[in-house]
Structure 1
Amino acid sequence: MTATDPSKVENSQRLDNFLTQRPDAQELVDKNILKDPKVAPAIQQQRDELSKARIQDTLRHKIDHRPTREELVEHHILEPSMGEDFQKMQDSLKGKITERPDRETLVQQGILADKE
């Protein structure tokens, strides 16, 4: 391979193109990609922690004060029949679980292997 290898020239041109189109540092700070070099790192960290805590508090408040199912039905967000279908399915599953055979029966029927 020579110094004028076409792939090296293309790579060099591509790199030059990327570098000329590269955003400046202030643009990256504005987009929150880089941290502002004018502000001390400890202050930036504290600001980030406060922001995170504020978001957590807001989410916790929204979750604690979310509307009940009945309120959602009253506001026509949920259909009342959805609860009935869910209740039927839940009752059906509870019935199947209570009627489930025990381990010994399953071993006798050859469904489970006896590990004793």
Structure 2
Amino acid sequence: MGDLEFKHAVETTLKVIGGKWKLVILCHLLDGVKRFSELKRSMPNITQKMLTQQLRELEQDGLVHRQVYCQVPPKVEYSLTEYGKSIKEVLDVLNGWGRRHRVRMKLQKQ
């Protein structure tokens, strides 16, 4: 696991999903299609500008699909692409690690 190819692959992954908000956005989109306002409400600490930026980057990397409906008022929905749905494997591993880490930290405090 310490070989150069492994390190490059991890670096590539982090370039796509790294940062404070991208994984959180992807978690919310695993539940299904969301409008921008729904995403914003579910993440009250993210700014509108940051949410827009992160969604654009995820769209450019092919993980998120942006559907614009031509109506008044404008309606935009975000969903995971088929490729984006493959991130669930990564999120499952992170979930397991996070749960174990919380238990470990709780035991250390005792």
TM-score, normalization: structure 1?
0.27
* TM-score, normalised by the number of residues in structure 2: 0.29
> Larger strand proportion, structure 1 or 2?
2
